[in-house]
Structure 1
Amino acid sequence: MTLSRRTALFLLAFGVWSYLLWPTFIRNIWHSDRSWAGSSPTGYLIVHLVIAVVSLVLGTIIGVLGWRAYRASRSS
């Protein structure tokens, strides 16, 4: 399957966007009053951390696909 350069750049931008957005989200959730009950994490924290980690993994995969497609479009 061949992706256009425009699509490759979009996927690459999505991957970069994930790394700009989700670490800030994790930091904000970590410091939220709803994230901790004493010294133990709440369900709120766990669910949001899972969402953020999955999003970072998917962003990485999409970014890598975009990078590979962009490199392939440059050589053809």
Structure 2
Amino acid sequence: MKLERKHALVLIAIAVWNVVTYVTFIKNLAATENRPTGYYVAHTVLIVVNLGIAGLLGTWGVKAYKASKAESPAKVDAR
């Protein structure tokens, strides 16, 4: 499968969005008090999984962006 530059930028944008929202979530989670341990465990698992997904999507996005940049942008079919 060949990803274009626009696909790469979407993947990178989603990864950045996930990181920003989950860093905010971490700050809000740290500010909570008097919650059961299961609450913290469940939300910590969610945070770790989503940051892992963000890392994976970001990696794919960067690789796709570099691959699209490495190709000659001046490909013109002279038929």
Q: TM-score range by the shorter chain?
A: 0.7 to 0.9
Partner of 1:59: 54
**CA shift at 1:33, angstroms?**
2.2
Partner of 2:77: none
Partner of 1:13: 13
Identify the match of residue 44 of structure 2 among 46, 49, 59. 49
Number of matched residues? Answer: 71
Identity %: 38
Where has structure 1 moved over 2 Å in runs of 4 or more? none
Query: Greater Rg, structure 1 or structure 2?
Result: 2
Q: TM-score, with normalisation over the residues of structure 1?
A: 0.85
Runs of 5+ unmatched residues, structure 2:
72-79
The structure with the greater share of residues assigned to helix is 1
Are the aligned partners of 1:5 and 1:73 in contact in 2 as well (CA < 8 Å)?
Answer: yes
**CA shift at 1:34, angstroms?**
4.3
Are the aligned partners of 1:15 and 1:60 in contact in 2 as well (CA < 8 Å)?
Answer: yes
The structure with the greater share of residues assigned to strand is 1
Q: Deviations over 1:9-53 (max 9, x none)?
A: 000111111221101101111221243x6xxxx111110010011
Are the aligned partners of 1:34 and 1:44 in contact in 2 as well (CA < 8 Å)?
Answer: no
